Structure 1
Amino acid sequence: MSDLSEKEIRYLHAESIEVRSGEGEGESLGIAGYVVKFNQRSQLIWGEFYERVAKGAFLRSLQENTIKALWNHRSDFVLGSTKNSTLRLYEDNSGLRFEIDLPNNSWGKDAYESVQRGDVDGMSFGFRVRQDAWQYLKDEDVYERTLLDVNLFEVSPTPFPAYPDSEASQRSLEGLGITTKEQRKAEKERLLIELDLLAIEG
């Protein structure tokens, strides 16, 4: 149902991001926590659907991909990589957990300081969908999407959502295969008019 070619980014407020300060000489600074918790409903995305991540959604990526940790999604500020194990990612029963050994440079130290102070308290991840499932929740008049298998390529500590609402265009929603509330309302009104006309003709 999804447009598998579209890159998607999700921002989540982290319950906590841990900081680690090396004790000995040459020990690096680090941060750790959860990128996302499994089966927890997201905030309403673009005003149209909720989202959950199923356990196992990242397993294929963890086996096949080189995944980068970026500072606020900036590819010129790399914090770590699974290629050399400065970024470690793994699924446990709660969610996708990360550990980053921060680089000994200006943005690594800035990242540590910002997380330690609590200025940066969110995580975001960039992915493409391989498999998902949709359910229409009639009582709430919204869809709920479950991510079953995603192609994960980056994670980012970030203070802000990675995209503004203005980026959620009508085309984007149609690409996901869902109708908006306005479209559903218009369709309902059209059907009511047709029923009224049939009643008159009858």
Structure 2
Amino acid sequence: MAEAKIVWGYAVLWDSVTTIANEFREQFAKGSLTRSIQEDDIRMLLDHDSGRVVGRTASGTLRLREDALGLRYEVDVNLDTPDGQTLAGTVGRRDVSGISPSFYVKSENWPRLGSGLPLRIITEARLIELSAVAFPAYPQTTAAMRSSPNANSAAAQRRIAARREAMRIRGMLG
């Protein structure tokens, strides 16, 4: 039997800003997904393809929780399926290292700022699914592989904190 694999990371980082279609900037406020992750049955997909489900909150194969950094996820990889093998292979080799959340906005703020693209702050959203993708809209998201629930957690947390600090310095974080 193959060693159990888990793909994990952050699907959303609070207050991280990204540009959407060169039309506006967007960020999630802390706690904007709390209700959704408590109430909704959320899936983990490959490339937003609903035919390629690799985890689900209702079955317990996808676990979500909010922490000080953002929305953290863990998905148990089923290496007995082609899609599980694809997920493990592409994330394990770091060919895919980002996550794209699919969501409906329930409430938002558009603060008046100076010049530049307008900013949308999502204050509540309904999360539909998370997808492992090659080109995430939020480049700050992460996807990493580990063999057991606690392996590499401290190292991964340090990498995420370093990436976040570098983005803050470059003005990419709000």
TM-score range, shorter chain: 0.7 to 0.9
**So what's the TM-score if we normalise by structure 2?**
0.74
User: Which runs of at least 4 in structure 1 moved beyond 6 Å after TM superposition?
Assistant: none
Q: CA RMSD in A?
A: 1.5
Code of the aligned partner of 1:71: L
Aligned to 1:107: 83
Aligned to 1:32: 8
How many aligned residue pairs are there?
Answer: 136
CA contact (8 A) 1:57 1:147 kept: yes
Aligned to 1:126: 102
Q: Tell me the SS of whatever aligns to 1:135.
A: coil
Q: Tell me the SS of whatever aligns to 1:142.
A: coil
CA contact (8 A) 1:34 1:95 kept: yes
Code of the aligned partner of 2:12: V
Among candidates 74, 97, 116, match of residue 141 of structure 1: 116
Deviation per residue, 1:8-57 (Å, 9 max, x gap): xxxxxxxxxxxxxxxxx465322000001101111x21222111111111
Give the Å deviation of 1:136.
Answer: 3.0
The unaligned stretches of length 5 or more in structure 2 are 138-174
CA contact (8 A) 1:71 1:158 kept: yes
Code of the aligned partner of 2:21: W
Aligned to 2:21: 46
Aligned to 2:127: 152
> Which structure is higher in RCO with an 8 Å CA cutoff and minimum separation 6?
2
Q: Tell me the SS of whatever aligns to 2:20.
A: coil
C-alpha distance in 2, partners of 1:53/1:132? Answer: 9
Q: Tell me the SS of whatever aligns to 2:60.
A: coil
Aligned to 1:65: 40
Code of the aligned partner of 1:159: A
Among candidates 93, 96, 109, match of residue 68 of structure 2: 93
The unaligned stretches of length 5 or more in structure 1 are 1-24, 163-202
Give the Å deviation of 1:137.
Answer: 2.1
Code of the aligned partner of 1:32: W
Give the Å deviation of 1:73.
Answer: 0.7
Q: Tell me the SS of whatever aligns to 2:112.
A: strand
C-alpha distance in 1, partners of 2:92/2:2? Answer: 20
Q: Tell me the SS of whatever aligns to 2:75.
A: strand
